[in-house]
Amino acid sequence: MKRIVVCGAGGFIGGHLVSRLKKDGHWVRGVDIKFNEFKKTDADEFLIADLRDPVKVDVTIDETIDEVYQLAADMGGSTYINTGEHDSDVMHNSCIINLNVLKTCSMKNVTKIFYSSSACVYPEYNQLDPDNPKCSEDTTYPAEPDSEYGWEKLFSERLYKAFERNHGLNVRIARFHNIYGPLGTFDGGREKAPAAICRKIIEAKIKKNKNIEIWGDGTQTRSFLYIDDCIQGTLDVFNSNSNEVFNVGSEEQVSINQMIEIIEDVANYKVNKNYQLDKPKGVRGRSSDNSFIQKQIGWKHTHTLKEGLIKTYNWISNQIESGTNISKFSKSSIEN
Ligand code: NAD
Ligand code: GDD
């Protein structure tokens, strides 16, 4: 049984990670600036703290902590990271969290730390052709991420590696590729395409309206990884003997139009796509290349996109029909 801190535990992936670490028998302290909106935390302790404050980080990662998973970041989908409007916040907030967490870990008894990087580190010049994006780990340099979010992730990867070299920290890094599933945000501006499009189709169906807005022309490609596969990939990377940086993504590449067709099938409802060419689009094509992680660690994703979208669509549909009660979960978490 390890004593573990999960930073960003009030978020989507952090919340799922806490549940899994508890199931695996560990003692877990979650930390975030907010509670998870959708579920009472499974953590033994949950601290509300701003990790931009080094004093709060020092209190959170105390001398008793063995391992840290650092997932806290100022982030969102294309609508949040590709307009340019949040660039200074995204870079400043996430950088300062990573600077604080690493400094504290290097001064305490933490033996191992996980950092959640992103597919957004990959160069834009390899993601111009939607049918042939190149995102293998050996194509990271020369660096040219398409967003400041990607530059921050790349800088922070290097920061973690520097602390590994100079302070003997045992570091593990995964580059997540568009993770989706239940308990992920689906409204408000930070949601990613799978959740956003599920929501739009659910709302259209409820209102008996056929028209939904889609960012871009729908021919841009992505791959989407179901949350359970992401959590298993995270633990496999964490427990591996290798300290290389690994993609944790799906290789099931689809266009946004193809993903919409799958969701229409799940919903049993056809929509008219109203393409918004002036909305944020990000790169033209992106898909995970899992050759390296499969060879080194043996991790593979197990959910097809359709299987994951069925679970996600049903969960979002339940949330919309029942009306999400944010305060309900905040209260129960405070009592925890
Ligand atoms: P999320 O936004 O749900 O979770 C991030 C959490 O960090 C949030 O709960 C947020 O409140 C918290 N946070 C932000 N600033 C904080 C601060 N100053 N102090 C304390 N907590 C703070 O996002 P997620 O999807 O769960 O992503 C988790 C990690 O994985 C992030 O680092 C993200 O960049 C990375 N990632 C996610 C995806 C994805 O598709 N979800 C893809 C690539 C990388
Ligand atoms: N969010 C969103 N909402 N995207 C839409 C929508 C919509 O209603 N309609 C179409 N899209 C398009 C976007 O324009 C983009 O081209 C594509 O769907 C995917 O958008 P997102 O899912 O929002 O983000 P992303 O894949 O560009 O980037 C995400 O994945 C990275 C890792 O792979 C982000 O979540 C990053 O933060 C993350 O690191």
Q: Does the structure show a pLDDT above 60 at 336?
A: no
Give the percent of the chain with pLDDT over 70: 96
33 burial via Cβ count (<10 Å: 0-12, 13-18, 19+): middle
C-alpha of 8 from chain center? 10
DSSP designation for 189: S
Residue located nearest, by CA, to atom 39 of ligand 2: 118
The catalytic residue among 69, 80, 149, 313 is 149
Q: Band the pLDDT of 72: cuts 50, 70, 90.
A: very high
DSSP designation for 317: H
- Pick the ligand that lies closest to the CA of residue 73: 1
CA distances from 286 to 2, 130, 226, 248, 263 (A): 36, 7, 16, 13, 20
- Across the chain, mean pLDDT equals 95
Gap from CA of 93 to ligand 2 centroid (Å): 21
CB 50 near ligand 1, within 6 Å: yes
Q: Does the structure show a pLDDT above 70 at 334?
A: no
Listed residue (283, 260, 257, 277) closest to 199, CA to CA: 260
Report pLDDT for 199. 98
Q: Best substitution site from 78, 220, 229, 284 to test ligand 2's pocket, by max atoms within 8 Å of Cβ?
A: 78
- Quick one: average pLDDT of 141-162? 98
Gap from CA of 13 to ligand 2 centroid (Å): 16
Report pLDDT for 323. 83
pTM of the model: 0.96
- Quick one: average pLDDT of 4-32? 98
Residue 125: helix, strand or coil by DSSP? helix
Report pLDDT for 335. 30
Longest dimension (CA), the chain: 60
313 is catalytic: no
In what helix (H) or strand (E) does residue 113 lie, and over which residues does it extend? strand 112-118
- Pick the ligand that lies closest to the CA of residue 115: 1
